[in-house]
Amino acid sequence: MDSVANNSAELNWWGLNFPNFNFTGFNPIKTWYVLKLSAEEIETLKNATKNYQNRYNATLKYELSTNIPTEHDPNQLPEFMVTIIGPNREIRTADICNTSLSYFVKGKVVYSIQSLSDDEDIILNVSLPQEPEPPVLPVPPVPPIPNPDKNETNKTKKNPIENNVNASMKPTSIHILAIILVLLASLGLTYKKQ
CATH of the domain at 57: 2.60.40
Is residue 66 one of the residues assigned to a domain?
A: yes
The mean predicted confidence, pLDDT, of the chain is 82
Of 15-24, 26-35, 48-57, 152-161, the poorest mean pLDDT is in 152-161
Q: How far is CA 162 from the centre of its chain?
A: 47
Is residue 109 one of the residues assigned to a domain?
A: yes
Is residue 81 one of the residues assigned to a domain?
A: yes
Residue 51 has pLDDT above 70, yes or no: yes
Is residue 185 one of the residues assigned to a domain?
A: no
**Predicted pLDDT at 6:** 47
Q: pTM higher than 0.85, yes or no?
A: no
Q: Are strands 101-106 and 57-66 parallel, antiparallel or unpaired?
A: antiparallel
Print the domain residue range for 112: 34-128
The predicted model gives 48-65 an average pLDDT of: 92
**Predicted pLDDT at 178:** 77
Is residue 12 one of the residues assigned to a domain?
A: no
**Predicted pLDDT at 4:** 44
Is residue 51 one of the residues assigned to a domain?
A: yes
What is the number of domains present in the chain? Answer: 1
